[in-house]
């Protein structure tokens, strides 16, 4: 699909996706951005990886179990986009690549953030090379972010475009660098296909201790279910290696799909263990629908937490 100029992409998002999201938010901006402040929003039992500084010692003493506070944000909360733009995000079996899907989702997030005067920045990595877009506000800044995401490396060799000495993405290094860039508590949106060298999970968990982290997995339908295309030459975008694959072989396709399911289950387990919210964005999906599903889930979680907080408060008063 030809690349849309940033201003045209934003206008299209405003006319399509943003109108649907308005009905979901209805002024409840905290559904999108959760922060820390002075007003109590939730009192719940302590869970593994919670910040010990948020423990409510009065409730803990009354209930004989450690409880933590979730507070309403009472000041401006910024946002940071952590962008894994390694060569594999340039893949797309249809009209849209994973890179273009990431740009559209960031544009939609940015439009919501601008409505409330929030600042946002980004850190991107093309393999070993990293760059930072400082946090600012304004529509011009959002257009610059979109152009920044869609800007591809000038060289085509993955080894030269920053894929790393091993030819693979090092997502853990990017997440560690994001922790150093985002100083204040922020909404941190990690966009990646999570095709990376192992070991990124601890860095993501550390990031989630300080920030409200949303992990967005960029995926293409072919990566889940391989169609029968006959004998096809395939190139590993991360390493540059080529191989011939006989997709007409049903056993080979079944094995591919099985491995894809196993990888997806393992990834979801890793994200849950890190304590982050997760959403999936396919190249064949509307980013507005994907974000709407996330907002519905967050609203449901907020209602469940509010009910649990009321029950805990009643028990504490008893």
Please state, in angstroms and rounded to a whole number, the distance separating the CA atoms of residues 108 and 290. Answer: 11
Cβ-in-10-Å burial (0-12, 13-18, 19+) of 85 comes to buried
Cβ-in-10-Å burial (0-12, 13-18, 19+) of 215 comes to buried
Q: Are 287 and 17 in contact (CB under 8 A)?
A: yes
Q: In what order do the strands lie in the sheet with 129-136?
A: 129-136, 120-126, 78-84, 186-192, 212-219, 277-282
Predicted structure pTM score: 0.78
Per residue in 140-177, pLDDT tens?
999 999 999 998 866 544 444 434 444 568 899 999 99
Higher pLDDT, 128 or 73: 128
| CATH architecture of residue range(s) 6-27+75-225+278-299 | 3-Layer(aba) Sandwich (3.40)
Unique residue bearing structure tokens 């409200």: 212
pLDDT of residue 161: 40
Per residue in 113-134, pLDDT tens?
888 788 999 999 986 689 999 9
Domain ranges of the chain: 6-27+75-225+278-299
Residue 247's pLDDT band, with cuts at 50, 70 and 90, is: confident
Q: What are the beta bridge partners of residue 43?
A: 69
Higher pLDDT, 48 or 204: 204
Per residue in 26-48, pLDDT tens?
545 555 655 554 445 567 787 77
Q: Please calculate the CA angle 52-58-63 and round it to the nearest 5 degrees.
A: 95
């Amino acid at each position: 699909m030809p690349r849309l100029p940033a201003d045209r992409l934003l206008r299209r998002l405003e006319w399509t996706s943003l109108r649907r999201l308005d009905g979901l938010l209805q002024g409840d901006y905290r559904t999108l951005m959760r922060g820390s402040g002075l007003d109590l929003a939730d009192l719940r039992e302590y869970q593994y990886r919670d910040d010990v500084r948020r423990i409510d010692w009065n409730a803990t003493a009354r209930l004989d179990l450690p409880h933590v506070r979730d507070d309403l944000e009472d000041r401006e909360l910024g946002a940071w986009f952590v962008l894994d733009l390694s060569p594999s995000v340039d893949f797309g079996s249809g009209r849209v690549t994973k890179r273009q899907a990431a740009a559209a989702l960031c544009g939609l997030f940015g439009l919501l953030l601008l409505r409330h005067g929030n600042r946002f920045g980004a850190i991107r990595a093309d393999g070993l090379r990293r760059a930072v877009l400082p946090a600012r506000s304004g529509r011009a800044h959002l257009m610059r972010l979109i152009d920044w995401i869609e800007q591809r490396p000038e060289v085509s060799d993955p080894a030269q475009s920053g894929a790393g000495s091993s030819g693979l993405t090092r997502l853990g290094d990017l997440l560690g660098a994001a922790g150093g860039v985002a100083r204040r508590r922020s909404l941190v949106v990690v966009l990646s296909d999570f095709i990376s060298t192992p070991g990124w999970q601890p860095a993501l968990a550390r990031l989630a201790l300080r920030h409200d982290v949303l992990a967005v997995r960029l995926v293409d339908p072919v990566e889940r279910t391989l169609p029968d295309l006959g004998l096809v030459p395939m190139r590993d975008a991360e390493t540059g290696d080529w191989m011939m694959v006989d997709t007409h072989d049903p056993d080979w396709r079944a094995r591919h799909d099985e491995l894809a399911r196993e990888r997806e289950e393992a990834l979801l387990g890793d994200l849950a263990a890190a304590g982050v919210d997760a959403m999936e964005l396919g190249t064949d999906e509307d980013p507005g629908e994907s974000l709407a599903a996330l907002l519905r889930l967050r609203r449901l979680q907020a209602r469940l937490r509010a009910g649990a907080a009321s029950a805990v408060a009643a028990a504490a008063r008893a």
